[in-house]
């Protein structure tokens, strides 16, 4: 089994080195930079198997990484998210399954009780809907990724859209051992404010508001 981990980045010098140091040498690591102005590229170049540059945009960056990846399984990972230590074992079980894609449960790296509630809601929603978000460490068999045409080239909600397409092939393979993601967005913008914003964005997207308009709210 071969695994390629694709990490889209933009000004992630505080996280990318630690993440790459924790990944085993048995997996291929591909960092795709969207125009960082800090030392992200320099740090990644010394530790990743490949470092690419592309136009900014998570979907664009992840597709660029997938285009050069050699792995049978493509795992898309945020720079501020770490995988469980035995993730390769879990992906071996996934490879032997009939399912085409999947994700990890998520845990937020804070001891605040509110985050236990947030992550429980995130995992429950994902399990009920079959929709995966980027901070859950989405993984896809190469054949399925090609079948759906990769991530749609939209400014936001690319993870939701590809989940919808992949669900037509199979339900997701859900790994209960969590990937641990940073609490920084909730801490910077406020926990309740961030929850409200994300639900508001998803509701607007459901109503047909374009990702180009939504990302202006997301990036504020």
User: What's the total number of domains in the chain?
Assistant: 1
pLDDT at site 1:
62
Q: Rounded to whole angstroms, how far apart are CA atoms 215 and 220?
A: 9
Per the domain annotation, does 38 fall within a domain? yes
pTM of the model: 0.90
Quick check: 205 pLDDT over 70? no
Quick check: 18 pLDDT over 90? yes
pLDDT at site 174:
96
Per the domain annotation, does 9 fall within a domain? yes
Phi-psi region of 191 (alpha: psi -120 to 50; beta: other; left: phi over 0): alpha
CA dihedral sign of residues 40, 45, 49, 51: positive
Per the domain annotation, does 211 fall within a domain? no
More confident residue, 59 or 213: 59
Quick check: 181 pLDDT over 60? yes
Q: Which domain holds residue 161?
A: 3-183
Mean pLDDT confidence for 102-131 = 92
Q: How many of the other CB atoms lie within 10 Å of CB of 67?
A: 13
Quick check: 196 pLDDT over 60? yes
More confident residue, 203 or 60: 60
Within 13 Å, how many C-alpha atoms sit on residue 77's CB side? Answer: 30
Q: How many of the other CB atoms lie within 10 Å of CB of 197?
A: 16
Per the domain annotation, does 190 fall within a domain? no
Point out which residues pair with 76 in neighbouring strands: 6, 138
Per the domain annotation, does 164 fall within a domain? yes
Q: Rounded to whole angstroms, how far apart are CA atoms 215 and 134?
A: 15
Per the domain annotation, does 77 fall within a domain? yes
Per the domain annotation, does 155 fall within a domain? yes
Residue 191 binned pLDDT confidence (cut-offs 50, 70, 90): low
Q: What is the CATH number of the domain that holds 51?
A: 3.90.550.10
Per the domain annotation, does 203 fall within a domain? no
């Amino acid at each position: 089994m071969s695994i390629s981990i694709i990490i889209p980045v933009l000004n992630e010098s505080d996280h990318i080195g630690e993440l790459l140091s924790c990944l085993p040498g048995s997996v291929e690591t591909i960092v795709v930079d969207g125009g960082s102005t800090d030392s992200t590229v320099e740090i990644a170049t010394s530790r990743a198997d490949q470092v690419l540059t592309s136009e900014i945009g998570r979907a664009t960056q992840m597709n660029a990484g997938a285009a050069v990846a050699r792995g049978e399984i493509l795992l898309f990972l945020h720079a501020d998210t770490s995988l469980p230590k035995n993730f390769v074992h879990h992906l071996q079980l996934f490879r032997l399954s009939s399912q085409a894609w999947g994700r990890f449960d998520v845990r937020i790296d804070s001891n605040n009780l509110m985050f236990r509630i947030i992550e429980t809601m995130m995992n429950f929603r994902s399990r009920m809907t079959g929709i995966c978000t980027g901070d859950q460490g989405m993984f896809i068999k190469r054949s399925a990724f090609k079948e759906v045409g990769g991530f749609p080239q939209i400014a936001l909600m690319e993870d939701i859209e590809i989940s919808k397409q992949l669900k037509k092939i199979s339900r997701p393979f859900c790994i209960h051992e969590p990937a641990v993601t940073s609490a920084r967005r909730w801490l910077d913008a406020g926990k309740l404010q961030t929850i409200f914003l994300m639900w508001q964005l998803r509701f607007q997207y459901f109503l047909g508001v374009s990702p180009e308009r939504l990302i202006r709210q997301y990036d504020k």
